[in-house]
Amino acid sequence: SETYPDLKRDSRFAQITPEHVAYFKDLLGEAAVIDGVTRNDTADDIEPFNMDWMRKYRGHCQLVLKPGTTEEVSKILKYCNDNMLAVVPQGGNTGLVGGSVPVFDEIVINMSRMNKILDFDEVSGTLVVEAGCILEVADQFLASKGYIFPLDLGAKGSCHVGGNVATNAGGLRLLRYGSLHGTVLGLEAVLADGTVVDDLCRLRKNNTGYDLKQLFIGSEGTIGIITKVSIQCPQRSAAQNVAFFGLESFEKVQQAFREAKSQLSEILSAFELMDEGSQALVHQVTKNQRPLEGQYPFYCLIETSGSNAEHDSEKLSAFLEDVMEKGIVVDGTLAENETQIKSLWAWREGIPEALSHLGGTYKYDVSIPLKDLYKLVEDTRARVEQAGLLGDTDEHPVRAVVGYGHMGDANLHLNVSTRHYDSRVEQVLEPFIYEWIAERQGSISAEHGLGLMKKKFIGYSRNPTMVGLMKNIKNAFDPVGF
Ligand code: FAD
Ligand code: 2HG
Ligand code: ZN
pLDDT tens profile 270-311: 999 999 999 999 999 999 999 999 999 999 999 999 999 899
60, 76, 110 — which closes off a domain? Answer: 110
Task: Answer yes or no: is 284 within a domain.
Answer: yes
81 lines ligand 1 (CB under 6 A): no
pLDDT tens profile 42-57: 888 999 999 999 999 9
CB 418 within 8 A of CB 399: yes
Expressed in angstroms and rounded, the spacing between residue 96 Cα and the centre of ligand 1 is 7
Q: Is the pLDDT of residue 2 over 80?
A: no
Please indicate, yes or no, whether residues 347 and 246 belong to a single structural domain of this protein: yes
- DSSP H helices, 357-409, are 375-386
- β-pairing, 107-110 vs 63-65, is parallel
Q: Is the pLDDT of residue 77 over 70?
A: yes
Task: Answer yes or no: is 472 within a domain.
Answer: no
Please indicate, yes or no, whether residues 136 and 152 belong to a single structural domain of this protein: yes
Cα 304 off chain centre by: 23
- DSSP H helices, 329-399, are 338-349, 351-356, 375-386
pLDDT tens profile 142-158: 999 999 999 999 999 99
Q: Which of 417, 448, 454 to mutate to test the pocket of ligand 2 (most atoms within 8 A of CB)?
A: 448
Task: Answer yes or no: is 85 within a domain.
Answer: yes
Which amino acid does the sequence have at 412?
Answer: L
Domain CATH for 338: 3.30.70.2190
Please indicate, yes or no, whether residues 85 and 168 belong to a single structural domain of this protein: no
Write down the pLDDT at residue 42. Answer: 84
305 forms beta bridges with 240
Confidence class of residue 223 from pLDDT cuts 50, 70 and 90? very high
Please indicate, yes or no, whether residues 250 and 327 belong to a single structural domain of this protein: yes
453 lines ligand 1 (CB under 6 A): no
Ligand 2 atom closest to Cα of residue 171: 2
How far apart CA 79 and CA 77 sit, in angstroms, is 5
> 31: domain range?
18-110
Please indicate, yes or no, whether residues 153 and 213 belong to a single structural domain of this protein: yes
159 lines ligand 1 (CB under 6 A): yes
Domain CATH for 98: 3.30.43.10
- Average pLDDT along the chain: 97
CB 314 within 8 A of CB 300: no
Write down the pLDDT at residue 356. Answer: 97
232, 248, 276 — which closes off a domain? Answer: 232
53, 84, 110 — which closes off a domain? Answer: 110
- Name the closest-CA residue to atom 8, ligand 2: 352
Domain CATH for 148: 3.30.465.10
Q: What is the ipTM of this complex?
A: 0.99
Write down the pLDDT at residue 1. Answer: 41
Please indicate, yes or no, whether residues 332 and 381 belong to a single structural domain of this protein: no
Ligand 2 atom closest to Cα of residue 352: 8
Expressed in angstroms and rounded, the spacing between residue 405 Cα and the centre of ligand 3 is 6
- Which uninterrupted H or E stretch holds 129? strand 126-130
pLDDT tens profile 4-14: 988 999 999 99
Question: Cβ atoms within 10 A of the Cβ of 159, count?
Answer: 25
Task: Answer yes or no: is 1 within a domain.
Answer: no
Please indicate, yes or no, whether residues 288 and 329 belong to a single structural domain of this protein: yes
Single pTM value for the model: 0.98
Q: Is the pLDDT of residue 24 over 70?
A: yes
How far apart CA 79 and CA 456 sit, in angstroms, is 29
Q: How many domains does the chain have?
A: 4
Please indicate, yes or no, whether residues 342 and 375 belong to a single structural domain of this protein: no
The DSSP secondary-structure symbol of 456 reads G
Domain CATH for 397: 3.30.70.2740
Expressed in angstroms and rounded, the spacing between residue 164 Cα and the centre of ligand 1 is 5
How far apart CA 415 and CA 62 sit, in angstroms, is 32
Please indicate, yes or no, whether residues 331 and 246 belong to a single structural domain of this protein: yes
Q: Is the pLDDT of residue 482 over 90?
A: no
Task: Answer yes or no: is 44 within a domain.
Answer: yes
What ligand is nearest to the CA atom of residue 447? 1
